Chain A
Amino acid sequence: MAQRRGLTRRAVLGALGAAGVAAAAGVTLAPRAAAARELGRHEPVEAALTRLFGGRAMKDGSGLIELGLPQIAENGASVPVSVEVDAPMTPQRYVRHIYIVADRNRIPVVTRATLTPDSGRAYMAASIRLGETGDVRAIVEQSDGTLLQVRRAVRVTVGGCGG
């Protein structure tokens, strides 16, 4: 009897707690959190690329994508990166996603920006962690599914990942 009451109480409190968290954070907490964990896994970069893009071909984007990165990052804990794509942003054709991937990080996928025609320009910038010297890539996914990629090596003096 005592055990049964304990279980009931726990179930009720658990449900109340979950409802409270959901109410505090807005409605769609659970699927959102699950999607983000999916993005940032501990895996080799090849596994991350296969997971995100399957075997889809990636074109060389060096004529269109400007990837702004320092050549030497003295502090890997915060490295500025910017991406600008010379591509139209119209409802018919636009840049839907810009991915930043740090090949040598234990969690290689850094961020995925989702843009819209209202963005006006395919541009984003972020401050990222780099665990060690290695390539950083920008991968651009256009609304028609075309994938473009550029990469650049960054020398990291003091790594900033741990992870």
Chain B
Amino acid sequence: MPSPASNWLASARAVFTKDWRCELRSRYALNAIGLFAVTTLVVTSAALGPAGTNSSLAINVLPAMLWLILLFAAAAGLPRSFVHEEESHTAIALRLAAPPSTLFVGKLAFGVSLLLGIEALVAPLYLGVMSLEVASPGLLVIALVAGGYGLAAGSVLIAALASQARGRSTLFSVLAFPVLMPLLLLAIELTRNAVAGDAAGPALPQLLLYDASVTIAGLMLFPAVWNP
């Protein structure tokens, strides 16, 4: 007889693998996020040129641009994770099959892994085309991981809300922007510190606090979103 904890983990893992399997069959989110990120990258790069060589642009503008690209890429792909359950009418089956907390954790793991994968593709490309030298690469990785986690966690929670309403994709951006704003400000600040070679400063613990609070809020509130 498996313990409740291992049952719970197995259920969350099942949601996670199901989402990745669906994703690899249709490649909707991967294509949408990846192409969106590359397109915006090309536009910013064509407009700014190798801006990284100018140190004031490198510190004041480029970190913000990177996070804007990631924000819009996330908004292009992550809401899909709940919307397609509603569109293909699989939400009811999912309500029966998995407890809400495992569903949230499974979807969250899917969103985080997707976004971190996209970051692993976009960030080196961005540094390359912008000729941006990063003084502390370790801090940049921490900023990308902690910021990417919060971006995915906030987006997944908001996507669950938006999928219940009409005009889902428009509504998602309207709902998500104020929720993700503190995260973006903190992640940009941290990235700026990484580029300039400064210490992480208070932005890092605050970013981790944001990640933790969004995760806890998601675990508490998601059952109310999911179950009528």
Q: A and B, one complex?
A: no
